Amino acid sequence: MNPRKLLWQFLLEHKGSYSLSLLSIIISEFITVQFPNLLGEFTDALQAGKMTNRLLLHYAILLALVGIAYVILYGIGQLWNGALGRQFEYLLRKRLFLHWELLSTTYFRHRSIGDLLNHAMTDVRQVREALSGGLNILTNAVFLLIATLYMTFRTVSVKLTLLSLIPLVFVPLFIVWFGPKVRIASRHVQEGLSDMAELTEESLAAIRLIKATGNEEIEEERFRKRVEEIVRRQMTMFTRSATFQSMIPLMGSIAFAIALLYGGWLALTRQIPLGSFVAFTLYLTMLIQPLQQIGFVINNFQRASASLLRLSILLGEKPEIQSPPEPQALEEVRGEIHVHLPAFQYADADEPTLYEIDFRLPAGRSLGIVGRTGSGKTTLVNLIPRIFDPPSGTVFLDGIDVRQLSLEALREAISYVPQDGFLFSTTIADNIRFGDSEASDEEVHAAARAAAIYEDVMDFPKGFETVIGERGVTLSGGQKQRTAIARALLKRAPVLILDDALSAVDMHTEKSILAELTERRRGQTNIIIAHRLSAVRHADHILVLDEGRVVEQGTHESLLAADGIYAQMYRLQEEEEAVG
């Protein structure tokens, strides 16, 4: 949903609370403007020599009541408005997160994490500040202005008030002319902050590489240039904002000077009482305050408008991969996979990544996929759960085109361990339980044993409750891979895909894991991508990919007998192991 529509929907749903909040603020302003009037009456009584102790106490109590009532009513209005603003901030961030979860993988190939985080943090905060604090201040300013003008017209002098308002006529004209300039400058600042967040996220993710290569100075220079550009944009925005905000009180000061000259003359010629002139000077002070506040709020709204525009573009993105309107039912998944793919090309690529891929994997069998780096192995298996969308009628699960299945049903049938074996910044148990949130501790431990990670986990002081840090930074590469495998095994899906998920483990551990896979997943479909041929030699069928094509396929024995690419890879790896 467009964030502007979401905002209006939120305002409509909470119109009662907002109405009470604004009403509380409005009443507080009409109460506070009684202060100059009471002070004017006090001055007139004092000048006329009518002041008594009882009257002095009367005015003191009235002024105290005005102050107390204002603080209570305005405080209630601010509290409600602020709470509602926080609720909308939470709603908008939740909507953003859910939207990102629905977007296809292709979208994230072209967007930086730093930029997306800046959307979620800075842009949402700008909108919330305008909705809560900005709305509070705007309501306060507008009705304080109205209440003050009403009191000056009614209790002082219509002519004096109108003359003093002449400079203020130019305020709305200035707002219309200069406001868009502030909004454009604010959008440029937000874009610069996104660039800085992107660089920061990238540098921190690569901190080990930076330190290992001694390139701290290069990264520092990159960051310095990015920050200097942000500072330049911020100075432009601050200059425009300062000009915008200062011109409004300038008009107020000119109005104050006119009122002082003309009002003083009226008081000297006794056309108005001294108390009325004193009250009017206080009213003028009150008039300048809302004008300054209105300038600040409009500035705030301009920045929020720029943020809303950025959020609108983001939330307007449509997932490229979606479930069909009427998905076919997938009752009991057997795990038969058939791929008949003439070609597959990424949307941003100049030529296809895969060509003429054709194979059928019966249910309950195992498939090994090998090939040189960049031969298309990962791309091929990513088409099965529709991480990337295959052409219609090319990839089938149990005889049904995967594009005709709901994404939920399709992905529920597949356990997938990607190359990086990503882990979350939580406990080891929670990471494994990500495969099945309802799994018991015993089931988690059994999956860990099958993945040969149980003993390693128990060596940690807190065992399975060990928090592993961002992206599993406290674990070795092999430990991360085995934890990811345990997570996939816990899911117990009919189809298991291991994308080079054994590359960081030693030969002994690899054999142990493969033996457990054979035992635990007997009668289920397994697909294993590997660079080390020992991981696939016992597979029922092996595909050899080269430059996006299946150049060889068969069993381990038949491929060795063919003496092709597979046999060459096998001999090379045997020589490396012998030397090692």
CATH of the domain at 302: 1.20.1560.10
Whether 262 maps to a domain, the answer reads no
Domain end marker among 469, 492, 515? 492
What residue type is 520 in one-letter code? R
Domain shared by 394 and 471, yes or no: no
Domain end marker among 438, 460, 492? 492
Spell out, as residue ranges, where the chain has pLDDT lower than 70.
1-4, 114, 169, 172-173, 175-176, 179, 183, 201-202, 204-206, 208-214, 245, 248, 288-289, 291-292, 295-296, 299, 470-473, 578-580
Domain shared by 382 and 450, yes or no: no
Whether 297 maps to a domain, the answer reads yes
Domain shared by 474 and 433, yes or no: yes
What letter does residue 393 receive in the DSSP assignment?
T
Whether 435 maps to a domain, the answer reads yes
Domain shared by 426 and 404, yes or no: no
Give residue 292's pLDDT: 64
Domain shared by 116 and 85, yes or no: yes
Give residue 489's pLDDT: 92
Domain shared by 462 and 499, yes or no: no
Whether the CB-CB separation of 268 and 297 falls below 8 Å is answered with no
Domain shared by 145 and 115, yes or no: yes
Domain shared by 27 and 107, yes or no: yes
- Return d(Cα 428, Cα 335) in angstroms, integer: 29
Q: Which of 112, 131, 126 is nearest to 309 (CA)?
A: 126
Phi, psi of 400 (to 5 degrees): -110, 130
**Cα 511-514-516 angle, rounded to 5 deg:** 110
Domain shared by 44 and 115, yes or no: yes
Contacts of 243 (CB under 8 A, 6+ apart): 178
**Cα 385-436-94 angle, rounded to 5 deg:** 75
Whether 8 maps to a domain, the answer reads yes
What letter does residue 334 receive in the DSSP assignment?
-
**Cα 498-500-503 angle, rounded to 5 deg:** 125
CATH of residue 446: 3.40.50.300
Whether the CB-CB separation of 16 and 47 falls below 8 Å is answered with no
Give residue 3's pLDDT: 65
DSSP 391-412: PTTSEEETTEEGGGB-HHHHHH
Q: What is the largest CA-CA distance in the chain?
A: 121
- Return d(Cα 514, Cα 548) in angstroms, integer: 27
Q: Count the domains in the chain.
A: 3
Side-chain-facing half-sphere of 47: CA atoms under 13 Å: 12
Domain shared by 53 and 136, yes or no: yes
Domain shared by 150 and 69, yes or no: yes
- For 442, the domain range is 421-492
Give residue 414's pLDDT: 93
What's the residue count for the chain? 580
Q: Which of 491, 541, 44 is nearest to 280 (CA)?
A: 44
Whether 501 maps to a domain, the answer reads yes
Whether 437 maps to a domain, the answer reads yes
Q: Other CB atoms closer than 10 Å to residue 544's CB: what's the count?
A: 24
- Calculate the alpha carbon distances from 268 to 264, 271, 272, 274 in Å: 6, 8, 8, 8
Give residue 343's pLDDT: 94
Q: H helices of 413-472, where?
A: 428-433, 441-450, 454-458
- Return d(Cα 358, Cα 550) in angstroms, integer: 8
Whether 213 maps to a domain, the answer reads no
Q: Other CB atoms closer than 10 Å to residue 218's CB: what's the count?
A: 11
Contacts of 307 (CB under 8 A, 6+ apart): 122, 123, 124, 126, 127, 186, 190
Whether 273 maps to a domain, the answer reads no
The bridge status of strand 525-529 relative to strand 366-371 is: parallel
- Return d(Cα 194, Cα 153) in angstroms, integer: 50
- Both structure tokens of 483: 């934890």
Domain shared by 130 and 107, yes or no: yes
- Return d(Cα 421, Cα 419) in angstroms, integer: 6
